[in-house]
Amino acid sequence: MEKDKIIDEIEKLKEERNAIIMAHNYQLPEVQDIADFLGDSLELARKAVNVDADVIVFAGVDFMAETAKILNPEKTVLLPTRRATCAMANMLTPEHIIEARKRYPNAPVVLYVNSTAECKALADVTVTSANAAKIVGKLESEVVIFGPDKNLAYYVAKQTGKTVIPVPEYGHCYVHKKFTVEDVERAKRLYPNAKLMVHPECEPEVQERADIIASTGGMIKHAPEWKEWVVFTEREMVYRLSKLYPDIKFHPAREDATCIGMKAITLEDVYTALHDMKYEIEVPEEIAEKAREAIERMLEMS
Q: Which residues bind ligand SF4 (CB under 6 A)?
A: 61, 86-88, 114, 173, 175, 234, 259, 261-262
The reply on whether position 25 binds ligand 5XR by CB under 6 A is yes
Name which of ligand 5XR, ligand SF4, none residue 261 binds, using a CB cut-off of 5 to 8 Å depending on partner kind. ligand SF4
Name residues contacting ligand 5XR, limited to 282-301 (CB under 6 A).
Answer: none
Which residues neighbour 79 within 8 Å (Cβ) at sequence distance 6 or greater? 58, 62, 65, 273, 279, 281
- Work out how close the CB of 103 gets to ligand 5XR at its nearest, in angstroms, rounded to a whole number: 27
Name which of ligand 5XR, ligand SF4, none residue 216 binds, using a CB cut-off of 5 to 8 Å depending on partner kind. ligand 5XR
- Work out how close the CB of 8 gets to ligand SF4 at its nearest, in angstroms, rounded to a whole number: 30
Closest CB to ligand 5XR among residues 201, 269 = 201
Secondary structure string (H, E, C) spanning the chain: CCHHHHHHHHHHHHHHHCEEEEEECCCCHHHHCCCCEEECHHHHHHHHHHCCCCEEEEECCHHHHHHHHHHCCCCEEECCCCCCCCCCHHHCCHHHHHHHHHHCCCCCEEEECCCCHHHHCCCCEEECCCCHHHHHHHCCCCEEEEECCHHHHHHHHHHHCCEEEECCCCCCCHHHHCCCHHHHHHHHHHCCCCEEEECCCCCHHHHCCCCEECCHHHHHHHHHHCCEEEEECCCCHHHHHHHHCCCCEEEECCCCCCCHHHHCCCHHHHHHHHHHCCCECCCCHHHHHHHHHHHHHHHHHC
x-marked contacts with ligand 5XR along 27-66 as a string, rule CB under 6 A: -------------xxx------------------------
Name residues contacting ligand 5XR, limited to 82-101 (CB under 6 A).
Answer: none
Report how far residue 175's alpha carbon sits from residue 93's, in angstroms, rounded to the nearest whole number: 20
Closest CB to ligand 5XR among residues 111, 130 = 130
- Work out how close the CB of 285 gets to ligand SF4 at its nearest, in angstroms, rounded to a whole number: 26
Closest CB to ligand SF4 among residues 93, 141 = 93
- Work out how close the CB of 51 gets to ligand 5XR at its nearest, in angstroms, rounded to a whole number: 18
x-marked contacts with ligand 5XR along 123-152 as a string, rule CB under 6 A: -----xxx----------------------
Name residues contacting ligand 5XR, limited to 185-224 (CB under 6 A).
Answer: 201, 215-216
Q: Interface with ligand 5XR by CB under 6 A: which residues?
A: 25, 40-42, 113-114, 128-130, 173, 201, 215-216
